[in-house]
Amino acid sequence: MAARHRIGALLLAWYRQGHRDLPWRTTTDPYRIWVSEIMLQQTRAQAVIPYYERFLARFPTVDALAAAPLQDVLALWAGLGYYSRARNLQKAAQVIDGSFPRDYDAIRALPGIGDYTAAAIGSIAFGLPYAVLDGNVLRVVARVENDASDVGSARTRERFRAIAQQWLTPDDAGHFNQALMELGATVCLPRKPQCLLCPIAAQCRAHAEGTAAQLPVKLRKQEPVRLDGTLLVIRKGTRILLRQRAAAESRMAGFWDLPSPEDLPRTRVGAELGEIRHTITHHHYTLSVRSALAPTRVSSPFRWFDAGELDAIPLSTTARKALALAR
């Protein structure tokens, strides 16, 4: 047990010597920390930075986000993926009503916030003594404990959370959590862990046993699903025809996309302009991009857009890729 408590002190000392300069690390504003943590889910820090800065420039406060049209929120989120995050962010902003909760359970109860995000916001903004548990932390715990249990199991995750909680330095919970996440992101890497640079290598059982590269273990892996499709680039002068996704398409509801031949069955499809690839979790799409003749008339959910309007609407990533190819 004493060794576990020592881990927190070692991580804090290492973190204070230097870490990545990320814009959300210069604030204790819970709103800004919350936005960063939601954006960082399933997304690399360097990819998040420009989105984070644009988003806060447009919505600098909880009230500004709560009052904004959803289309504006989605437009600034376009390209980050996992768009339910943006919808839940605005729903939570509307629940907060200007005053961000300071209690862990109240933070946890907000739309789109789970145990990890509540612990991150609570510890960094308010010093609440809750250890975070994300993919990086799971990996660190599995290696320090040399534990080959399935990290896809809820029981294993709860046990690992309890271990991280034992490491926590309660008087500096925010910096501890940032140090733990920083270790997983920069040193305790999924492949080729940098054990010689690790501040807790002496406490790491997997390092001692030579098993670090084999951990953590996730037994239930999703098989990749490969899907084919076609996107149509239909122009009328300088305008491009787009289709707005319906509410039934929950993941992308409200976004604008290029139509497919199935959307416009009477449209004459022309030459292939090329091919794009796109991946969402374990779904791998190969999409043929083809020109097509403009239909005589269009109505909802279709609409013509000038090229200059595309940056102001929530445009799907596949549409952006296809239009870049078509240019």
Q: Write out the chain's pLDDT in tens, 327 residues.
A: 556 679 999 999 999 999 999 999 999 999 999 999 999 998 999 999 999 999 999 999 999 999 999 999 999 999 998 899 999 999 999 999 878 999 999 999 999 999 999 999 999 999 999 999 999 999 999 999 999 999 999 999 999 999 999 999 999 999 999 999 999 999 999 999 999 999 999 999 999 999 999 999 988 777 889 999 999 999 999 999 999 998 776 678 899 999 999 999 989 999 999 999 998 888 899 999 999 998 888 899 999 999 999 999 999 999 999 999 988
Domain membership of residue 263 (yes or no) is yes
* Domain limits for position 33: 2-214
Which CATH number does the domain housing residue 185 bear?
1.10.340.30
Which residues contact residue 309 at a Cβ distance below 8 angstroms, ignoring those fewer than 6 apart? Answer: none
CB 62 within 8 A of CB 101: no
What pLDDT does residue 327 have?
81
Domain membership of residue 220 (yes or no) is no
Do residues 168 and 22 share a domain?
Answer: yes
Domain membership of residue 110 (yes or no) is yes
Tokens of 208: 């001692």
Which CATH number does the domain housing residue 247 bear?
3.90.79.10
Do residues 200 and 232 share a domain?
Answer: no
Write down which residue in 214, 237, 256 finishes a domain.
214
Helix (H) or strand (E) holding 257: strand 256-257
What pLDDT does residue 98 have?
77
What pLDDT does residue 153 have?
93
Tokens of 86: 């943006």
The one catalytic residue in 37, 209, 223, 272 is 37
**Measured distance CA(154)–CA(136) in Å, rounded:** 16
What pLDDT does residue 37 have?
97
What pLDDT does residue 164 have?
97
Do residues 209 and 78 share a domain?
Answer: yes
Helix (H) or strand (E) holding 317: helix 317-326
What pLDDT does residue 220 have?
72
Instruction: Count each helix (H run) and each strand (E run) in the chain, helices first.
Output: 13, 6
**Measured distance CA(102)–CA(122) in Å, rounded:** 7
Do residues 51 and 198 share a domain?
Answer: yes
Do residues 199 and 234 share a domain?
Answer: no
Do residues 159 and 233 share a domain?
Answer: no
Domain membership of residue 219 (yes or no) is no
Write down which residue in 185, 214, 243 finishes a domain.
214
Do residues 106 and 74 share a domain?
Answer: yes
Query: How many domains does one find in the chain?
Result: 2
**Measured distance CA(202)–CA(193) in Å, rounded:** 14
Active site (annotated) includes residue 309: no
Tokens of 13: 């000392």
Domain membership of residue 310 (yes or no) is yes
Do residues 184 and 280 share a domain?
Answer: no
What pLDDT does residue 3 have?
64
Q: What one-character-per-residue DSSP string does 74-97 give?
A: HHHHTTS--THHHHHHHHHHHHHT
Specify the DSSP class assigned to residue 269.
E
Write down which residue in 159, 180, 214 finishes a domain.
214
What pLDDT does residue 269 have?
94
